[in-house]
Amino acid sequence: MPFAEAARIALTSLRANKLRSFLTVLGILIGVSSVIAVVAITEGLDRYIADKVLELGSRSFAVQKMPDIITSREQWMEMMRRRDITMADLEAVRAGCADCAQVGGMHFTGRDVKYGRVTQTSVQVIGITANVQRIGAIRDLTAGRPLVDDDVDRARAVAVVGQDLVDAFFPGGMEPIGKEIRLGTQPVTIVGVAEKKGAVFGNSQDNFMWIPISFFRKLYGTRVSVIIQAEAASMEAFDRAQDEARVIMRARRHLGFAKPDDFSVETGESVMELWQTATRGIYVVTLVVTGISLVVGGVVVMNIMLVSVTERIREIGVRKALGARRRDIVRQFLVESVILSLFGGVLGLLGAALFSWGLAALLGSIMATTFTAPIRLWAVLLAVAVSTLVGLVAGIYPARRAAALDPVVALRSE
């Protein structure tokens, strides 16, 4: 029997039992939609992390004492024993890295900041060279001026502040520029206000202040490790620039060939990798849950196919009397089972689209940014492939039972 004929029979019988067909494929629907939705959401989060948190695709990298990711106490102890990176190291990289467009330095610490009687806690105080403002994701200023080289050269007590500080200290549109805030006991004059970035995973990106690195070192001492912030001249030179910086650092520290780096070169990608390791865990859990629901879904399909065979024993007898061979009957019921499951897979796909769209809207409103959870072609193919497979596996036993029916007995059945 040609496939088209089998498909026609299957569709007729599905149409005749709409509600039953729908209930039958619920398991497959849930399985398929949950896997696709979870994958879409995690992919959306990946992209969100990449775009908003790590600003991947930028040409910036950092040379620092400690790696971004430390996985054990032992590792932390070991890293703490590394030598600090000095301003001299910074100057050497700035002078020697031919493929770097910008090389700057920074320190940061968390402090309380006061204005009058108002205290803003845990402000990220970042000491920078002026060019750091031009590396990586650039923040425009909404008021005032940026820090300039002269501020750094003279270690001026000036700051560019984030919007959270403005909101806390100058409510109702008061002018922040020129006001003196206090960092501990040290007065600092606000010269600029940085644009608002909002929150990432609930953490405000605007509770910070930039001060000249020289001023930072005056306040908090010079025995702190510098984070070298560099930007490659082009995307093509990105790896080369990192290598140059690495070679300069190794040369300055007289590291032999066999010795590993005693500093870390970090790009957004290293954090991305950690994030993706975590997401892989989510994938595995999802796959297990989905696997269970697909098995249950398959059992339901098999059960209903057995019912369908029982209901249609007479029809099978007639078909056999008219010349249907075993394989014709097997094919008829297999195609029906596959089409039934595919129906579940397609509904699952729609469900996933709806679900991830809804969840994306929810996450987006929580994080105050646009957030998309895209459904990819491979997800569609996966849904089709998985539901076809479930249909085949669930259908083979009922189909064989139907095919093995004795036509004499089948024709006699009521």
Partner 1 sequence: MSEPSAPATTVSAAAPAASGNGHLIEAHDLWRTYAMGAEEIHALRGVSFTIAAGEYLAVMGPSGSGKSTLMNLVGCLDTPTRGTYALRGKVVSQMDDDELAAVRNREIGFVFQTFNLLPRATALHNVELPMVYAGVAKEERLERARRALDMVDLGDRTSHRPNELSGGQRQRVAIARALVMGPAILLADEPTGNLDSATGDEIMRLFGRLHQQGNTIILVTHERDIADHAHRTLFIRDGQIESDTIRNAGG
Task: Please give the residue ranges that form the binding site for partner 1 (CB under 8 A).
Answer: 1-2, 5, 12-13, 16, 314-315, 317-328, 406-408, 411
CB of 405 to partner 1, least distance (A): 10
CB of 13 to partner 1, least distance (A): 7
* Displacement of CA 386 from its chain's centroid (Å): 25
Can you tell me the distance from the alpha carbon of 173 to that of 193, in angstroms, rounded to the nearest whole number?
13
In terms of CB distance, is 12 or 119 closer to partner 1? Answer: 12
In terms of CB distance, is 107 or 320 closer to partner 1? Answer: 320
Structure token pair of residue 280: 């892989």
In terms of CB distance, is 134 or 325 closer to partner 1? Answer: 325
CB of 404 to partner 1, least distance (A): 9
Given its phi and psi angles, is residue 55 left (phi above 0), alpha (psi -120 to 50 degrees) or beta?
A: left
Structure token pair of residue 60: 């910036």
Can you tell me the distance from the alpha carbon of 169 to that of 181, in angstroms, rounded to the nearest whole number?
9
In terms of CB distance, is 182 or 326 closer to partner 1? Answer: 326
CB of 38 to partner 1, least distance (A): 40
Nearest Cα to Cα of residue 126 among 154, 167, 156, 159:
159
Nearest Cα to Cα of residue 302 among 389, 400, 402, 396:
396
In terms of CB distance, is 12 or 186 closer to partner 1? Answer: 12
Structure token pair of residue 109: 């610490």
CB of 46 to partner 1, least distance (A): 49
CB of 11 to partner 1, least distance (A): 11
In terms of CB distance, is 4 or 258 closer to partner 1? Answer: 4
CB of 396 to partner 1, least distance (A): 18
**How many residues in the chain?**
414
Number of neighbouring beta carbons within 10 Å of residue 115: 17
Is residue 141 within 8 Å of 192, Cβ to Cβ? yes
* Displacement of CA 120 from its chain's centroid (Å): 31
Is residue 53 within 8 Å of 199, Cβ to Cβ? no
Structure token pair of residue 164: 């959270």
β-pair partners for 105 = 228
CB of 298 to partner 1, least distance (A): 26
β-pair partners for 111 = 123
In terms of CB distance, is 13 or 24 closer to partner 1? Answer: 13
Structure token pair of residue 370: 């646009």
Helix ranges restricted to H, 228-267:
238-252
Task: Classify the C-alpha dihedral 322-323-326-332 as positive or negative.
Answer: negative
For tokens 């509904």, the residue is 347
CB of 399 to partner 1, least distance (A): 15
Can you tell me the distance from the alpha carbon of 396 to that of 333, in angstroms, rounded to the nearest whole number?
8
CB of 316 to partner 1, least distance (A): 11
In terms of CB distance, is 167 or 315 closer to partner 1? Answer: 315
Distances (CA, A) of 24 to 27, 294, 336, 372: 7, 12, 13, 31
Number of neighbouring beta carbons within 10 Å of residue 76: 12
In terms of CB distance, is 259 or 314 closer to partner 1? Answer: 314
In terms of CB distance, is 373 or 410 closer to partner 1? Answer: 410
In terms of CB distance, is 46 or 315 closer to partner 1? Answer: 315
CB of 402 to partner 1, least distance (A): 13
For tokens 């669930």, the residue is 394
Can you tell me the distance from the alpha carbon of 222 to that of 216, in angstroms, rounded to the nearest whole number?
9
